[in-house]
Amino acid sequence: MNLTKLFTGKDLSEQKNQIRDRLKSVNNKWFPKGIFGQIEIEQKGKRLVVSLPFESATVSTFLAEYVNDIYPHVEYVYKPTVGNHSSVSGVKSIVAVASGKGGVGKSTVTTNLAVTLAKLGHKVGVLDADIYGPSMPMMFGLEGESVTTKDEKTMEPHVKFDVALNSIGFLIPKDKAAIWRGPMASRALMQVVNETNWPELDILLVDMPPGTGDIQLTMSENVKCDGALIVTTPQNVALADAEKGIEMFQKVATPVLGVVENMSQFVCDNCGHIHHLFGTGGGEKCASNHNVPLLAELPLNPLVRSSGDSGVPFVMSENEDKEYQQLAFSLMMQLSKQTQQIITLA
Ligand SMILES: Nc1ncnc2c1ncn2[C@@H]1O[C@H](COP(=O)(O)OP(=O)(O)OP(=O)(O)O)[C@@H](O)[C@H]1O
């Protein structure tokens, strides 16, 4: 039986070209230019399998719309390519999550983004570098835990929700870290960076302390980050600080992958009215001022706060990860564009 003509009566190469052409016509600003010229399409039994250089459930659904009418039997699979760098052994890419101002939700975004990336199939780690207020142990439900070691030299990260995590909060009580300054704080941070026995990771998210001080400088001098994600609220005072953060990363040649506007709006449970508690359009303006994309506008949602406090990230709840899936996808796309590591551009 000639499987290549099974469904359409067309030759396999003709079918592949047709699928490729359809995918090339996909119009979505997050896909790097030329990406669909590079993908692999194979026949496996009765199916045609498209190997994508990234993973996202939303992507498969989105792409199916372009192809389903001609080939309903196409399957999309994730085929990661091997990276070749990062200053931390075993780690393919490092992304700093930063904000100029404190309290804008940087740690919340880091946590939920990490868990979403893990749910999508990536190998993810989180380094809590917020040395003055490490909140990851609480957000991952690991408060009160300390580090373990197998060889008395390196620390084993905790693994929760499929994310490997280390935090200065596992080493010392919260109040002690808060009084560290300058070289002492930097030394402690570098110890957590260098002496953690990270497993093989596709991406390590670094939750930075707010501001543009010593720690940020230490990080950028000692750890080669592939990119930075800037979290802000739409408020003017937060935006001014976010812009300082962007400028700092640009100065040290760390590409800013994009801006995340958190607490963008609040939808009233009762009447559905949308309230813009902190103003509107700030994230977009901040991003366009610096020629970087706005990757997400995440709503203010009381469940996000209560989940963070309870140690079970918001995205672990059923059907609560759509916005974070989109953010995870656009972040990986931006990272691909920067590093050319996950995909090769045409
Ligand atoms: N989208 C959101 N909706 C509701 N509450 C949120 C949202 N994002 C963050 N929060 C809450 O706001 C508070 C501050 O968030 P978080 O600790 O993540 O901020 P941060 O920028 O990391 O702060 P810090 O400067 O202390 O590091 C937390 O109580 C968190 O649960």
Tens digits of pLDDT across the chain (346 residues) = 344 444 555 688 888 888 888 888 887 766 766 667 667 788 888 788 888 766 555 677 778 888 888 888 788 876 655 455 567 888 888 999 998 777 889 999 999 999 999 987 788 999 998 877 889 999 999 999 998 889 888 999 999 999 999 998 898 776 665 666 677 777 888 888 888 999 999 899 999 888 777 777 777 777 788 899 999 988 777 688 888 889 888 888 889 999 999 987 767 777 777 777 666 777 888 888 888 899 999 998 889 888 889 999 999 987 777 889 888 888 887 887 676 544 433 3
100 and 72 within one domain:
no
Q: Which of 28, 49, 78 is the last residue of a domain?
A: 78
Cα 6 to middle of ligand 1, angstroms: 54
Burial of 232: CB neighbours in 10 Å, binned 0-12, 13-18, 19+: buried
Residues 62 and 160 in one domain: no
User: ipTM higher than 0.85?
Assistant: yes
Q: Same domain for 67 and 98?
A: no
CATH of the domain at 36: 3.30.300
Based on the fold, state whether residues 127 and 10 are members of the same structural domain.
Answer: no
Q: In the chain, how many domains are there?
A: 2
Residue with tokens 């937060």: 238
Q: Is residue 344 part of a domain?
A: no
Rounded to the nearest angstrom, the distance between the alpha carbon of 199 and the centre of ligand 1 is 28
Asked if 30 and 146 sit in the same domain, the reply is no
Residues 218 and 286 occupy one common structural domain: yes
Residue 182: half-sphere exposure toward Cβ, Cα within 13 Å: 1
Tally of residues, the chain: 346
pTM as predicted: 0.80
Instruction: Tell me if 241 sits within 8 A of 130, measured CB to CB.
Output: no
Q: Choose the residue to mutate in 97, 99, 107, 261 for probing ligand 1, maximizing ligand atoms within 8 Å of C-beta.
A: 107
Question: Which structural domain range is residue 191 located in?
Answer: 91-339
Q: State whether 114 and 168 are in the same domain.
A: yes
One domain, residues 104 and 55: no
Q: Which amino acid is at 131?
A: I
Q: Please answer whether residues 300 and 264 qualify as being in contact, where contact means their C-beta atoms are separated by less than 8 angstroms.
A: yes
- 128 and 223 inside one domain: yes
pLDDT of residue 38: 63
Domain boundary among 52, 78, 104: 78
- Residue whose CA is closest, atom 31 of ligand 1? 305
Same domain, 147 and 45: no
Tokens of 276: 């813009």
pLDDT of residue 342: 42
- Ligand 1: distance of its center to the CA of 102 in Å? 9
Q: Is residue 178 part of a domain?
A: yes
Which residue's CA is the closest to the ligand 1 atom numbered 5?
305
**Token duo for residue 214:** 């010593």
Give distance in angstroms: CA of 104 to centre of ligand 1.
6
Q: For tokens 């030759």, name the residue.
A: 11
Instruction: Show which of 48, 78, 108 is a domain's final residue.
Output: 78
Q: What is the CATH number of the domain that holds 321?
A: 3.40.50.300
HEC readout, the chain: CCHHHCCCCCCHHHHHHHHHHHHHCCCCCCCCCCHHHCCEEEEECCEEEEEECCCCHHHHHHHHHHHCCCCCCEEEEECCCCCCCCCCCCEEEEEEEECCCCCCCHHHHHHHHHHHHHHCCCCEEEEECCCCCCCHHHHCCCCCCCCECCCCCCEECEEECCEEEEEHHHCCCHHHHHCCCHHHHHHHHHHHHHCECCCCEEEEEEECCCCCCHHHHHHHHHCCCCEEEEEECCCHHHHHHHHHHHHHHHHCCCCEEEEEEECCCEECCCCCCEECCCCCCHHHHHHHHCCCCEEEEECCCHHHHHHHHHCCCHHHCCCCCHHHHHHHHHHHHHHHHHHCCCCCCC
Note whether 67 and 129 are same-domain residues.
no
* Residue 323 identity: E
Residue 230 CA to ligand 1 centre (angstroms)? 14
User: Does one domain contain both 51 and 161?
Assistant: no
Q: Is residue 238 part of a domain?
A: yes
**Alpha-carbon span 298 to 106, nearest angstrom:** 12
Using CA atoms, how far apart are residues 247 and 239, in angstroms rounded to an integer? 12
Tell me whether residue 42 is in a domain: yes
User: Which pLDDT does position 7 carry in this prediction?
Assistant: 53
CB-based pocket (< 6 A), ligand 1: 99, 102-108, 130, 133, 135, 210, 262-263, 298, 300-301, 304-305, 308
Name the binding residues for ATP: 100-107
